[in-house]
Chains A and B, each alone.
Chain A
Amino acid sequence: MTFLDPSAFFALILLVVPVLIHLLVHRRAERLLFPSLRFIQPARLTSLRRRMLDDVPLLAVRAAILVAAIAALAAPVFLTAARQREWNARVVRAAVGARGFQPRDGAARPFQARAFDASDVRDGIRRAVAWLDTAPPARREMVIASAFPIGSLTAEDIAAVPASIGLRFERTGALPESRTVDDARVMTGGGATLSRSLTLAGGRTRVHEIRVADRASFPVEVDAPADATPAIDAAIAAVLTQRVWAPPPDRRARLVIIDRSAESLALRVMPINVPWIAEAIARMSRDAELQAAASGTTGALDARFTTAPWHVVALGKGAGAEPAPPGPLIAAAGSASELLVASAAGPLDLVTPLLLRSMVNGLAMLPDVRQAEVVSIPDAELEAWSRPAPPPGAPRLDTLEDDQDDRRWFWASVLLLLALEAWMRRARATGGGAVAEVDMGESFEPANNVA
């Protein structure tokens, strides 16, 4: 037997209540003045002590009532072999796949089944897990149907499925031998913009580029002291030699080099409510090369760049000649239409061109080429992820069917014990069991008692 809500047993502290009542009531004997004690034998005190012993069974019954009620509240479930066999014999199945998918029955027809239409397998798996968690006790199985292109499922996705759920994979549909998709545009040295298309064929990817513009404006405007212009231009030229992603024309950014002369500079920023600006800031924060370069750069933004709506993107070595704790070197925010980045690094610092590159790549709108994948997850990997539906463990109270809720037996025992307690109380009140017989019918008739 197991208890699905053992916290109810904290109520056992209430057992002290009937004991206290038993003791307190017991000690209070009624006091009466009586004309003569000559017919009341002092030896009967032993009967009083005997009654104390006689009351132990009554106290035990009362305690048993309380224990049975608490046990009922603790949601008991008798895990009998028959019940386990019953649960083991049935299967609850969730099918994740395209609309209309019907999985093969496998080893057993399902006790309950439900299909989850999902173009995104990961989303379908998440919903299927939530449904299986509320299913009645049974072996739980999830059947996933897909063409399984590489990237659609990973080992991390499989690890997120609870071990109590069996997994079965059914390959449906076929991936094309090759597929061509448009990639994002790139900017090259000299400001040229290239359009890219990817052709995926088997395990090989072919890139086709076409020049679409000769001279496109750099999407980041830099505010720096006038004497820093050559350094900034050099930095931009260096960025372009890296073939960075070309952002859409409506996505712009501004980099402000903060020095002492810019202390009074007012920047109009607002809380970020444009998704591409937020995504750009997130990409910049994940740029490992930028983070590494910033950590070795001296400089720090003042306090106004460390509070909302500014977000610190990278930390620097701090300001001053003396060693100082890391301070904010680069912070980003948004305005109504552009990304704003403030940097305390100098124009000639290595971090500046890395920051420009990160900003440009952050602004880009990158397609998810994983959807174009033509290579599927190998059968061996799917086989390794597969596992049979394990036997069900202790169920949850809310998943039990009514006829498997064993609280009823405990409540029935409470009722029986209550009846027993009432009978024992009545028997004690009439003296039953304590003396051989009590003659209640004898009475005196004074009218007949005249000598």
Chain B
Amino acid sequence: MTPAATAPTSSTGPLDPALLAGIADLELVARIIVEGLVSGLHRSPFHGYSAEFSQYRHYRPGDDLKYVDWKLAARTDRLYTKQFRETTNMAATLVVDTSASMDFGTLTKFRYAVLASAALAHLISTQGDAVGLVAAAGRFIAPRTGRQHLRGVLAALSALEPRGPWPAGETIRRAAERMSRRGLLLVFSDFYDDEDRAFVELRRAARMGHEVVLFQILSRAELEFPYKTDVEFTDVETGRSVAVHAAVARREYKDGVTAFLERWRSRAGAEGFQYSLIVTDTPPDRALRTFLLAR
């Protein structure tokens, strides 16, 4: 595991996630976040445009003169055109969990996921790479480059809404299969749903050659369980309820959450996924910077 580098100081300071969440223009928010997190980065966190020299061939009328090797022409009095291997710019696909369980917290996990994924989409796109989006099973935007395409991705992110259960395994599988070449799979989820199937598909995506990055997003309340009195908890997805005395149930709850998170962290590490646990009260630029510095 790459040790995390010392984060560079930012003159603007951390970005208040609640404040960012209040900005309706997702492109603006994404740009703000990106400006906040790329300052101080010494290199591009993602692999950008690359072209590799392949061979020479005789010049044919119409060839682009910038690909003519003039040094060779000077030596040989003949004109030759350079040929390159196919350009291998990176393709990233964002996978965002739209289950009802993401709709929790003052700054909801879903909104945080949208902000973070929009920021990364902006960053990837401005660096010349392709970015796409998969939300639920029926919504897929293939990775492409370009500002216009980026706007489309951000618009699609803005239109997403957390609702009902999320078929994690099927969504991940679809995202991995729809990517035409090996690329980057960025998954934003709490990973409550379909846990085992999701992991199976993530592992399958990794074996297909994709680089898998997991952002597990939780709220502080889910981690700390700060409740003290009699509480009747209702599952936002299933509607099931259970009444407990929260102060008494806290220990067992935290043990369960800890084990759950540790399970995802260790399994991700074992499979070579890059894993980040993000709490929604963390400024998104800080959370993403930590992730980017670790790449």
Residues of A within 8 A of B (CB): 26, 29-42, 44-45, 47-48, 51, 429-431, 434-435, 437-439, 442-444, 446-451
B291 touches A450 (CB 8 A): yes
Most B Cβ at <10 Å: residue of A32, A36, A37, A449:
A36
**B276 adjacent to A36 (CB under 8 Å):** no
CB-based contact B275/A34 at 8 Å:
no
A38 to B287, CA, bound (A): 26
* A450-B251 CB under 8 A given contacts A32-B234, A47-B244: no
Q: Chain B interface mostly helix, strand, loop or mixed?
A: mixed
Among all A-B residue pairs, the 7 with the closest Cβ atoms: A39-B256, A431-B247, A451-B275, A35-B101, A29-B230, A47-B248, A451-B269
Add 7 more A-B contacts to A29-B230, A449-B277 (CB < 8 A).
A32-B227, A33-B104, A34-B234, A35-B219, A36-B101, A430-B228, A442-B258
- Known A-B contacts A35-B236, A51-B245, A429-B228; the reply to A450 vs B252 at CB < 8 A is no
CA distance A129 to B250 in the complex (A): 73
Contact with A along B47-84 (1 / 0, CB 8 A): 00000000000000000000000000000000000000
Cα–Cα distance between A410 and B11 once the two chains are bound (Å): 66
Return the contact of A47 from the options B109, B249, B253, B282 (Cβ within 8 A): B249
Q: Bound state CA distance, A153 and B132, in angstroms?
A: 122
Task: Tell me the residues in window 269-295 of chain B with beta carbons closer than 8 Å to chain A beta carbons.
Answer: 269, 273-279, 282, 286-287, 290-291, 294
Please, which residues of chain A bring their CB within 8 A of the CB of B256? 38-39
- Chain B, residues 237-270, CB within 8 Å of chain A (1/0): the string is 1101011110111111110111011000100110
Which positions 156-212 of chain B face chain A at CB distance < 8 Å? 190, 192
Contacts of A30 in B (CB 8 A): 227, 229-232
State A29–B291 Cα separation when bound (angstroms). Answer: 41
Known: A446-B282, A451-B1. A39 touches B104 (CB 8 A): no
Chain B residues with CB under 8 A of A45: 242-244
B269 closest partner in A (C-beta): A451
Determine which of B1, B235, B253, B279 lies in contact with A444 in the assembled complex, contact meaning CB atoms within 8 Å.
Answer: B279
With A30-B229, A32-B231, A439-B254 known as contacts, the answer to whether A446 contacts B236 (CB < 8 A) is no
Alpha-carbon distance A252/B276, docked complex (angstroms): 125
Bound CA–CA A257/B244 (angstroms): 101
Q: List 22 A-B contacts (CB under 8 A).
A: A29-B231, A29-B232, A30-B227, A33-B104, A34-B233, A35-B235, A36-B101, A36-B237, A37-B238, A40-B253, A44-B245, A44-B249, A48-B230, A51-B230, A434-B245, A439-B251, A439-B254, A444-B279, A446-B278, A449-B265, A451-B1, A451-B269
Chain B interfacial residues counted at CB < 8 A: 58
Select one of A31, A42, A446 contacting B279, CB under 8 A: A446
A444 neighbours in B (Cβ, 8 Å): 223, 261, 277, 279
**Which residue of the partner chain, among A44, A439, A450, contacts B275 with CB atoms under 8 Å?**
A450
* Contacting pair B234 A35 (CB below 8 A): no
B233, B247, B254: the one contacting A429 at CB < 8 Å is B247
Q: Does B16 contact A (CB under 8 A)?
A: no
Q: How far is the CA of A451 from the CA of B4 in the complex (A)?
A: 10
From A26, A442, A443, A449, residue with most partner B Cβ within 10 Å: A449
Instruction: Find out whether the CB atom of B228 lies under 8 angstroms from the CB atom of A33.
Output: no
B242/A31 in contact, CB under 8 A:
no
Please name all residues of chain B whose beta carbon is closer than 8 Å to the beta carbon of A31 when the two chains form the complex.
231-232, 234
Cβ of B190 to closest chain A Cβ, rounded Å:
7
Whether A39 lies near B260 (C-beta < 8 A) is yes
Residues on B with C-beta less than 8 A from A35 are 101-102, 104, 109, 190, 192, 219, 222, 235-237
Cross-chain contact A451 with B273 (CB below 8 angstroms): yes
CA A38 to CA B258, docked complex, whole Å: 13
- Residue among B228, B237, B261, B268 with the most chain A CB within 10 A? B228
Evaluate contact between B248 and A44: CB separation under 8 angstroms: yes
Residue of B101, B223, B244, B252 with highest tally of chain A CB at under 10 A: B244
Q: Which residues of A contact B222 (CB under 8 A)?
A: 35
B224 interfacial by beta-carbon distance below 8 Å = yes
- Complex Cα distance A41/B276, Å? 27
Take A434-B247, A444-B223 as given contacts and tell me if A42 and B231 are in contact as well, using a CB distance cutoff of 8 Å: no
Q: Does A44 lie within 8 Å of B229, measured CB to CB?
A: no
Task: Determine if A40 and B247 form an interchain contact, defined as CB atoms under 8 angstroms apart.
Answer: no
Complex CA gap A448/B268 in Å reads 15
Q: Given A31-B232, A449-B265, does the pair A37, B279 have CB atoms closer than 8 Å?
A: no
The CA-CA distance from A254 to B190 in the complex, in Å, is: 119
- Specify which chain B residues have a CB less than 8 angstroms from the CB of A44 in the assembled complex: 242, 244-245, 248-249, 252
Task: Please state if B249 and A40 are interface contacts (CB–CB under 8 Å).
Answer: yes
**Bound complex: CA of A439 vs CA of B251, how far in Å?**
7
Q: Which residues of A contact B286 (CB under 8 A)?
A: 447
Given contacts A39-B253, A451-B1, contact A32 B244 (CB under 8 A): no
Please give the distance in Å from B254's CB to the nearest CB on chain A.
6
Q: Which residue in chain A gives the minimum CB-CB distance to B271?
A: A451
A425 to chain B, nearest CB (A): 12
Contact B235 A438, beta carbon cutoff 8 Å: no
Beta-carbon contact of A34 and B243 below 8 Å: no
Instruction: Specify which chain A residues have a CB less than 8 angstroms from the CB of B232 in the assembled complex.
Output: 29-32
- Minimum C-beta distance from B244 to chain A (A): 4
Contact A446 B287 (CB under 8 A): yes
Q: Which of A34, A429, A438 has a CB less than 8 Å from the CB of B250?
A: A438
Distance, CA A447 to CA B294, complexed state (A): 11
Known: A48-B243, A435-B251, A451-B1. A40 touches B279 (CB 8 A): no
Interface string of B213-224 (1 = CB under 8 A from A): 000000100111
Shortest C-beta distance, A116 to chain B (Å), equals 69
How many angstroms between the C-alpha atoms of A448 and B282 in the bound complex?
13
Complex contacts, B294 vs chain A, CB 8 Å: 450
B265 CB to nearest chain A CB (Å): 6
Find out whether the CB atom of A435 lies under 8 angstroms from the CB atom of B247: yes
In whole Å, how far is A355's beta carbon from the nearest beta carbon of chain B?
A: 92
Residues A34 and B235 in contact in the complex (CB < 8 Å), given A39-B257, A443-B224 = yes
> In the complex, A51 Cα to B1 Cα: how many Å?
47
Report the separation of the CA atoms of residues A47 and B279 in the bound assembly, to the nearest whole angstrom. Answer: 30
Which residue on chain A has the smallest CB distance to residue B240?
A37
Give the distance in Å from the alpha carbon of A39 to the alpha carbon of B218 in the complex: 14
Q: How far in angstroms is the closest Cβ of chain B from A235?
A: 101
Q: Whole-angstrom distance between the alpha carbons of A368 and B236 in the complex?
A: 104
Residue interface mask B98-116, A partner, CB < 8 A = 1: 0001101000010000000
In the assembled complex, the CB of B238 is this many whole angstroms from the nearest CB of chain A, namely 8
Cα of A42 to Cα of B294 in the assembled complex, Å: 40
Assess the A431–B268 pair: CB atoms within 8 A. Answer: no
In the complex, which residue of chain A has the Cβ closest to the Cβ of B221?
Answer: A34
Residues of chain B contacted by A437 (CB below 8 angstroms): 251
Please give the distance in Å from B241's CB to the nearest CB on chain A: 8
